[in-house]
């Protein structure tokens, strides 16, 4: 346990010392300051949950004593507790330290990455402290996440860009995954009870707030292309590139292992975790969702740290339940979760397979289990996202446990989740009440889905920010009166069941573009301002057409 924390402190000191020197601090002073900062931050993370366990106190003394010297070097755990040195240390995590501000000022001067490296080293330090105890404290992991958010806010407030933001694509595009192994295209079939063949696509689209993301998704659905899964919440423009048919499981020419399943797919190097989390942070709103996803990432990080050191770790389920109204970003976040899991080594590729009831349930006896197996096989080493999952346990009459093959799909899914527990992550999504009924429909579901993340409706200010982002991304802008008209309309809308959120704003934005076009086409030789400005007249005309 001490070795793990000791290594994290060493890395922190080495990194920060070099960066302080590059910022103009004399080498001797730089190392002294870096050591003091490492010790102070370690104390803050130990104090985060106000419970200073024997293991934490001993580990703190082991790493701090030799670096600080007497009297701390000679202190016992009892001496340390009596001194009160750890008590209240957590307050340090609520604001950037003087050292962090020094690095930030240097970065502001030469557009460097010093404070970014400081952030990563500090997060690693916090994870190492959390890993000292057998079961990491959720409060300590929350403290790591809050510190990270505090420093990110300071970075952005100072106008300093992070490495992901300076990438040519703005940090929003994931690395290209290698193409699927070649094979014969699936035979053309009708859209009957068997549904359609799955489709693999590279998609460039906007998230619920308009943030551009490139994702590899595989869709299994009985609907024709261009249906609900092509209509992701909050997207403004969709460009499908490099579409590649996905072979049905165990099709001719498909390589399988002795057990009859596909071996792990070859994948490119995972994207750095910090960059994926930066994309999550860039989404408008969703503060509680971001906090929950960050906690999941922290738990997996600490678990990996302990396993790497040969320490006992408490197994945690990676499967998630997403609840909320349409257009709240569930699909966008699910795709980011896939990449987060890949960055942490929890799955091999992080690709996302999207499906729903139509993609899992067949119309004839004996076909549903095979259909579920096919979809799960395509999701191995990645994430299976089941939208409106509660529909699986509702028959044609809408009653829970209805008399069709949906329950067979659930039972088969539970078995396959266990069979492939090291290669599969499942995220189920839908309305809150219905998802509660769904999880209760099979005894195996509640144990496999211990964590539910609720996606709240967007506030009016967040919806306005989404609309503004979408307009700017398309080369338009709302005028002041245009935004006021949009705000007045959004203020009248009730955030009840079925409220469209980002999807509703996207539809209104597209209707406003149509109104704008109708107005501008009648103007002879319009200037650039006329071609780009969306006014209150355009918004009102769009609302009038919508009724």
Q: Residue 383 sits in a domain of what CATH number?
A: 3.40.50.300
Domain CATH number, residue 465: 1.10.8.60
CA distances to 155, 174, 198, 354 from 280, rounded to whole Å, are 16, 13, 28, 20
Shared-domain flag, residues 442 and 471: no
Contacts of 46 (CB under 8 A, 6+ apart): 52, 56, 57, 60, 86, 89, 129
Shared-domain flag, residues 152 and 22: yes
Burial string for 425-458 (b: 16+ CB within 10 Å, else e) reads: bbbbbbbeebbeebbebbeebeebbeeebebbbb
| 239 belongs to a structural domain | yes
| 335 belongs to a structural domain | yes
Shared-domain flag, residues 13 and 131: yes
Shared-domain flag, residues 483 and 446: no
**Predicted confidence (pLDDT) at residue 295 exceeds the cutoff of 70:** yes
| Domains of the chain: total | 3
Shared-domain flag, residues 480 and 432: no
> Which residue range forms the structural domain that includes residue 468?
460-546
Of the ranges 82-86, 180-184, 389-393, which is most confident? 389-393
pLDDT average, residue stretch 234-252: 29
**Predicted confidence (pLDDT) at residue 175 exceeds the cutoff of 50:** no
**DSSP letter (8 states) at residue 173:** B
Burial string for 6-45 (b: 16+ CB within 10 Å, else e) reads: bebbebbbebbbbbbbebebeeeebbbbbbebbbebbbbb
d(CA 317, CA 115): 33
Predicted confidence band of residue 212 (pLDDT cuts 50, 70, 90): very low
Shared-domain flag, residues 234 and 382: yes
* Among 99, 129, 157, residue at a domain's last position: 157
Shared-domain flag, residues 111 and 236: no
Shared-domain flag, residues 46 and 103: yes
d(CA 38, CA 497): 48
pLDDT digits (tens, 9 = 90+) for 303-343: 888 777 777 776 777 899 998 888 888 888 999 999 999 88
R_g over Cα of the chain: 26
| 168 belongs to a structural domain | no
Cβ distance 468 to 512 under 8 Å? Answer: no
- Detail the DSSP E strand segments found in 360-461: 382-387, 424-430, 451-455
Mean of per-residue pLDDT scores for the chain: 76
pLDDT digits (tens, 9 = 90+) for 11-30: 999 999 999 999 999 999 99
Contacts of 82 (CB under 8 A, 6+ apart): none
pLDDT average, residue stretch 261-271: 60
Cβ distance 272 to 390 under 8 Å? Answer: no
Predicted confidence band of residue 266 (pLDDT cuts 50, 70, 90): low
Contacts of 287 (CB under 8 A, 6+ apart): none
Q: Name the 3-class secondary structure at 45.
A: helix
CA nearest 218: which of 332, 333, 352? 352
DSSP class per residue in 476-512? -EE-HHHHHHHHHHHHTS---TT--HHHHHHHHHHHH
CA nearest 142: which of 101, 93, 95? 93
CA nearest 35: which of 58, 66, 77, 75? 66
Shared-domain flag, residues 437 and 322: yes
pLDDT: which is higher, 232 or 151: 151
* Among 102, 126, 157, residue at a domain's last position: 157
Q: Name the 3-class secondary structure at 101.
A: helix
| 393 belongs to a structural domain | yes
Tokens representing 183? Answer: 């094979």
pLDDT digits (tens, 9 = 90+) for 402-420: 446 888 888 889 889 888 8
| 79 belongs to a structural domain | yes
Cβ distance 388 to 356 under 8 Å? Answer: yes
pLDDT at position 241:
25
Cβ-in-10-Å burial (0-12, 13-18, 19+) of 470 comes to: buried
d(CA 278, CA 163): 10
Predicted confidence band of residue 395 (pLDDT cuts 50, 70, 90): low
Q: Name the 3-class secondary structure at 158.
A: coil
Predicted confidence band of residue 210 (pLDDT cuts 50, 70, 90): very low
| 183 belongs to a structural domain | no
């Amino acid at each position: 346990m001490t070795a793990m924390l000791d290594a994290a402190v060493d890395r922190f000191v080495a990194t920060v010392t070099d960066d302080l020197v590059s910022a103009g601090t004399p080498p001797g002073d730089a190392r002294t300051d870096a050591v003091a900062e490492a010790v102070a931050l370690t104390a803050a993370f130990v104090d985060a949950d106000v419970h200073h366990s024997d293991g934490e106190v001993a580990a703190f003394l082991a790493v701090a004593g030799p670096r600080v010297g007497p009297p701390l070097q000679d202190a016992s755990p009892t001496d340390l507790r009596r001194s009160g040195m750890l008590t209240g240390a957590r307050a340090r995590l609520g604001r950037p330290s003087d050292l962090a501000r020094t690095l930030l000022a240097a970065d502001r001067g030469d557009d460097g990455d010093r404070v970014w490296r400081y952030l990563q080293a500090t997060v690693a330090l916090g994870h190492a402290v959390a890993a000292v105890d057998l079961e990491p404290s959720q409060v300590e992991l929350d403290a790591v996440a809050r510190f990270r958010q505090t420093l990110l806010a300071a970075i952005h407030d100072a106008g300093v860009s992070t490495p992901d933001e300076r990438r040519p694509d703005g940090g929003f595009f994931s690395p290209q995954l290698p193409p699927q192994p070649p094979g014969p295209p699936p035979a053309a079939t009708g859209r009957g009870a068997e549904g359609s063949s799955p489709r693999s696509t590279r998609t460039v689209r906007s998230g619920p707030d308009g943030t551009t993301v490139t994702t590899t998704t595989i869709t299994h659905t009985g609907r024709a292309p261009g249906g609900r899964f092509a209509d992701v919440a909050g997207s403004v423009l969709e460009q499908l590139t490099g579409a590649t048919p996905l072979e049905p499981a165990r099709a001719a020419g498909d390589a399988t292992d002795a057990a009859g399943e596909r071996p792990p797919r070859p994948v490119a190097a995972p994207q750095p975790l910090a960059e994926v989390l930066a994309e999550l942070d860039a989404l408008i709103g969703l503060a509680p969702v971001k906090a929950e996803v960050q906690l999941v990432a922290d738990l997996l990080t600490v678990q990996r740290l302990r396993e790497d050191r040969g320490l006992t770790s408490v197994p945690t389920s990676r499967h998630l339940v997403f609840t909320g109204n349409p257009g709240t970003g569930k699909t966008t976040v699910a795709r980011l979760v896939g990449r987060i899991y890949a960055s942490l080594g929890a799955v091999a590729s992080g690709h996302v397979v999207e499906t729903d009831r139509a993609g899992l349930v067949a119309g004839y006896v004996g076909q549903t289990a095979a259909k579920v197996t096919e979809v799960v096989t395509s999701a191995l080493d990645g994430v299976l996202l089941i939208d409106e999952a509660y529909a699986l346990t509702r028959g044609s009459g809408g009653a829970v446990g209805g008399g069709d093959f949906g329950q067979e799909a659930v039972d088969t899914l539970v078995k396959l989740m266990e069979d492939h527990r090291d290669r599969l992550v499942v995220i189920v999504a839908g309305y809150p009440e219905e998802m509660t009924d769904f999880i209760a429909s099979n005894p195996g579901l509640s144990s496999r889905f211990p964590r539910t993340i609720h996606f709240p409706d967007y506030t009016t200010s967040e919806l306005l920010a989404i609309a503004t982002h979408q307009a700017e991304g398309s080369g338009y802008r709302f005028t002041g009166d245009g935004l006021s008209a949009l705000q007045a309309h959004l203020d009248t809308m009730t955030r009840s069941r079925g409220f469209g959120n980002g999807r509703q704003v996207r539809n209104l934005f597209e209707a406003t573009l149509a109104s704008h076009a109708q107005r501008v086409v009648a103007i002879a030789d319009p200037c650039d301002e006329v071609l780009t400005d969306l006014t209150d007249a355009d918004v009102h005309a769009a609302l009038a057409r919508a009724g």
